[in-house]
Amino acid sequence: MALVRFSLLLATPVILLAFGACGSGSSLASNVNADAGDEAGDEADSGIPCDATGVSKGPWTLAMTEASITIRWESCRAGAKGDVIVSQENAQAPGMTVTSAESPYTVSTTYAAPLNPNAPPDLAGTYYMHDTHVTGLAPSTCYTYALAADANRKGRFCTSRNAGDPIRFLAIGDTNPSLGPATTNVLSHVLPMSPDFIVHVGDIQYYDSTVETWGSWFPLMQPMLSAGAFFPAIGNHEAEKSTEYADYVIRFFGGAGFDSPMPADSGDQYYRYESGGVWFFVLDTELPLDANADQTKWLAEELADASLKPGYRFSIVYFHKPFVTCGDTGDNPDARAVFEPMFTQYKVPLVIQGHMHGYERFTFPGLTYLTAAGGGGALGDVSANISRAECSSRTTFGRFFSGTVIDVGASTIHGVTIDDSGTTQDTFDVAVP
């Protein structure tokens, strides 16, 4: 499916924006040529650097439930220590040791960042993914963990909250940490608020910025990865290069949701998860969104199913390409017509979207749209299409980098949007339906 999607995108003529703004068409095309050069120059395994710990990326956590979590990291050689020590946060009791499963994965193509010699190239070769499925955890409880191979490789996560308990999460998107200090600065202001988990609305990493590789991305994003379970949506920049989607995005983040309809490595990623009686539905806007699309049917069925679960409160839906925006990307009135009746029927008061590099909040009757795409990608023109009908409902907007920390309480969803200088740019409350 990723290859089909890639081919379709290549057929779309879009003007290339410098440094990786969200338009994808010719930026993808330009990378086809870049890929050709990369591939020609790196036919053989280039020799993957590997320190004594054997750990090359991570760790991070995925697929949180009330009782379990997946801890994942990458090793650069076989047989690295695979244990993880998991402890209750702020508890004195000794932690439990959990063993990971190691599985080799061979990456076919080397990619580099042509304008950033300090970005480690993503080298072709064999890597060893470690997955640790930790079970038997307590609900509504936060834990810390550290790798036995390197105690400095560590993090925290919280299990899903009991229905009705407050939850806190971070919403961020379009993160391009190697482009400048914006991503790191935003994270430095929002992560100390200790979100339970991370909602990423897509465009996780940007080869298109020409200064970023996954090798440069991971160390800069480790504070976020260590903060809580990571639940990304798929953006258009997840398939910038011909093998990126499978070799990087799915290898790292496949299986993020605990009941994805597809196998973790299938290449299609829409999924759902739950905390505190709030269900989160993650759509893939690179896939069809019409009324007869598989994903649309899936959402209708899964919303209906979730709404019947004990403790169901409401749902939050998020995805990459916006349904509403006044900025310099497309909107999607057709998708609104398909999805908004579902949002009303099954109590979806909040939709979070990305792609338009900036910040917007729209207030419609019973439904708030948030554009949380100020995660570090080059900022766009947030009012380039101000004549669109939805712009009369745009409550707040700004051309700034940001992350939004969202608290779900008993009667409100409270959001605080903080920019890269630590300034609060927006606060809002959405009534719980």
Write out the residues near Fe ion by the rule CB under 5 A.
22, 203, 235-236, 355
Residue nearer to Fe ion on the CB measure, 228 or 322: 322
Of 189, 129, 159, the C-alpha closest to 66 is 159
- Reading the block at residue 104, the tokens are 């080799």
Residue nearer to Fe ion on the CB measure, 82 or 173: 173
- Rounded least distance, CB 174 to Fe ion, Å: 6
Residue nearer to Fe ion on the CB measure, 57 or 355: 355
φ/ψ (deg, to 5) at 376: 135, -15
Residue nearer to Fe ion on the CB measure, 58 or 403: 403
Residue nearer to Fe ion on the CB measure, 22 or 233: 22
Residue nearer to Fe ion on the CB measure, 233 or 350: 233
Nearest residue to Fe ion on Cβ basis: 22
- Rounded least distance, CB 320 to Fe ion, Å: 6
Q: Which amino acid is at 108?
A: S
C-alpha pair distances (Å), 285 with each of 2, 202, 256, 335: 13, 10, 17, 10
Q: How far apart are CA 158 and CA 135, in angstroms?
A: 13
Q: Which amino acid is at 257?
A: G
C-alpha pair distances (Å), 429 with each of 277, 408, 414: 19, 10, 5
Give the strand pairing for 150-158 and 96-99. Answer: unpaired
- Rounded least distance, CB 101 to Fe ion, Å: 33
Residue nearer to Fe ion on the CB measure, 119 or 233: 233
- Rounded least distance, CB 238 to Fe ion, Å: 9
For 233-290, list the strands marked E by DSSP.
271-275, 278-282
Residue nearer to Fe ion on the CB measure, 235 or 380: 235
- Rounded least distance, CB 21 to Fe ion, Å: 8
Residue nearer to Fe ion on the CB measure, 158 or 372: 372
> How long, in residues, is the chain?
433
Q: How far apart are CA 89 and CA 141, in angstroms?
A: 8
- Reading the block at residue 428, the tokens are 């809002």
- Rounded least distance, CB 272 to Fe ion, Å: 22
Residue nearer to Fe ion on the CB measure, 121 or 330: 330
244-276 as b/e, with b when 16 or more CB fall inside 10 Å? bbbbbbbbbbbbbbbebbbebeebbbbbbbbbb
Contacts of 150 (CB under 8 A, 6+ apart): 53, 55
- Rounded least distance, CB 237 to Fe ion, Å: 6
- Rounded least distance, CB 217 to Fe ion, Å: 16
Token look-up 């719980």 returns: 432
- Rounded least distance, CB 84 to Fe ion, Å: 33
18-47 as b/e, with b when 16 or more CB fall inside 10 Å? ebbbbbbbebbbebeebbeebbeebeeeee
Q: How far apart are CA 274 and CA 340, in angstroms?
A: 21
- Rounded least distance, CB 411 to Fe ion, Å: 34
